[in-house]
Homo-oligomer: A and B are copies of this chain.
Amino acid sequence: TSSYRIASIPGDGIGVDVTVEARKVLDRAATSHGFSLSWQEFDWSCERYTKTGAMMPDDGIEQLSRFDGIFLGAVGFPGVPDHVSLWGLLIPVRRAFTQYVNLRPVRLLPGTTSALAGRTAEELEMVIVRENSEGEYSEIGGRHNRGQENEFVLQESVFTRVGVERIIRYAFELAKTRTGRVCSATKSNGLIHSMPFWDEIFAEVSSDYPDVQAEQCHVDALAARMVQAPDRLDVVVGSNLFGDILSDLAAAVTGGLGMAPSGNINPTGEFPSMFEAVHGSAPDIAGQGIANPVAQILAGAMMLDHLGETVAAQNIHAAVEKVLEEGTVQTPDLGGKSTTAELGSAVVAAL
């Protein structure tokens, strides 16, 4: 039987709460589908940072490299600046393992309602393919004339041909397996160096996919479209920042951030991929057992799918949908009174 080594990094806040439940579900899926998961847990987090001054040990990346998958809760803690926690863990992992795709599927799950008026579940199914290795998230830049009247900051965005081409190609390949439609987020009217380059490569790649319907849309108009006409969107590909914004927005117009999983994927399989919920660590409700574990459970399903356990992944999806459809076990954000653990157990039972 196949066995997968999984590094679990629950992180901070509700990351810890939801990871426990997702592991219960994944372990049950493993048992009933004839594979095994061998978990190793890492306490890398803001809590660790406040004690040791580092989010993870110096050889953290090396340690993770021995795993088949990385299962991340959420990182972030009041008092630890976000740029410290994220650039000390999340972003280095994404980059060291060339997880250049951040895949963020959204859809309206049963038992949940869209924030939009009069939309059916079919109109609200899409996937954001976010570039995850370069772009606007860059360490290049700095601050000049500190404290002076003429103080200023430079922040560099970096787009490479290799980086842009591979993410766009990934989006086209994905579109072939879905509706055959790709929309590229651009802003070439305002950002006159980076985005015309992005558009040019988008046009080049699209000529390799005559059967895929390719369009591009400025990110401002695209944000409006997600609200006003989401039905005509399916695969949306965007830069690191645009993908970040559009995926939160897409989650909001569908079932909300409590339901949205995310995969940081190294498509070649050379390095482990990392799966997480789109939501953050939500310190305000952490440890109370009221966080919604669905996003993390679905992130687990994405991980199994990535590892090749497609049927198990589908069955987890089906089990989540069954529980949501029944609507008897719901966390407060879904309008119910159940705990994180009760929802987790209900999914296990439904499996």
Given that A155-B157, A241-B187 are known contacts, is A224 also in contact with B249, CB under 8 Å in the complex? yes
Interchain Cβ contacts under 8 Å between A and B, 10 examples: A76-B189, A81-B188, A136-B191, A152-B159, A152-B160, A154-B194, A155-B193, A187-B244, A221-B248, A224-B252
Q: Interface 1/0s, chain A 276-297, versus B by CB < 8 A? A: 0000100000000000000000
Q: Give the residues from 123 to 157 in chain A that come closer than 8 angstroms, CB to CB, to chain B.
A: 136-137, 139, 141-143, 148-157
**Min CB gap A283→B, angstroms:** 14
Kindly list 14 other residue pairs between chains A and B, CB separation below 8 angstroms, not including A137-B190, A220-B244: A81-B188, A81-B196, A83-B192, A85-B189, A148-B161, A152-B159, A152-B160, A152-B161, A153-B197, A219-B245, A220-B248, A223-B223, A224-B257, A227-B253
Contact among B150, B189, B193, B257 with A153 in the assembled complex (CB-CB below 8 Å): B193
Give every chain B residue within 8 A of A247 (Cβ-Cβ).
Answer: 220
Q: Are B86 and A190 in contact (CB under 8 A)?
A: yes
Is A96's beta carbon under 8 Å from chain B? Answer: no
Q: Interface 1/0s, chain A 258-287, versus B by CB < 8 A? A: 000000000000000000000010000000
Is A349's beta carbon under 8 Å from chain B? Answer: no
Q: Give the residues from 80 to 113 in chain A that come closer than 8 angstroms, CB to CB, to chain B.
A: 81-83, 85-87, 91, 113
**Min CB gap A166→B, angstroms:** 12
Give every chain B residue within 8 A of A76 (Cβ-Cβ).
Answer: 189
CA distance A73 to B183 in the complex (A): 28
Contact among B148, B197, B218, B256 with A228 in the assembled complex (CB-CB below 8 Å): B256
Is A116's beta carbon under 8 Å from chain B? Answer: yes
Q: Are A83 and B189 in contact (CB under 8 A)?
A: yes
Q: Are A190 and B157 in contact (CB under 8 A)?
A: no
> How big is chain A's contact interface, by range?
35 or more
Give every chain B residue within 8 A of A190 (Cβ-Cβ).
Answer: 83, 86, 91, 136-137, 240-241, 244
Contact among B116, B156, B193, B248 with A224 in the assembled complex (CB-CB below 8 Å): B248
**Min CB gap A281→B, angstroms:** 12
Q: Are A160 and B154 in contact (CB under 8 A)?
A: no
Q: Are B153 and A156 in contact (CB under 8 A)?
A: no
Given that A194-B141, A194-B155, A249-B227 are known contacts, is A114 also in contact with B117, CB under 8 Å in the complex? yes
Q: Are B224 and A227 in contact (CB under 8 A)?
A: no
In chain B, what residue has the closest Cβ to A137?
Answer: B190
Contact among B85, B118, B241, B252 with A227 in the assembled complex (CB-CB below 8 Å): B252
Give every chain B residue within 8 A of A197 (Cβ-Cβ).
Answer: 143, 153
Given that A150-B160, A156-B154, A161-B149 are known contacts, is A141 also in contact with B224, CB under 8 Å in the complex? no
CA distance A155 to B240 in the complex (A): 14
Give every chain B residue within 8 A of A149 (Cβ-Cβ).
Answer: 161-162
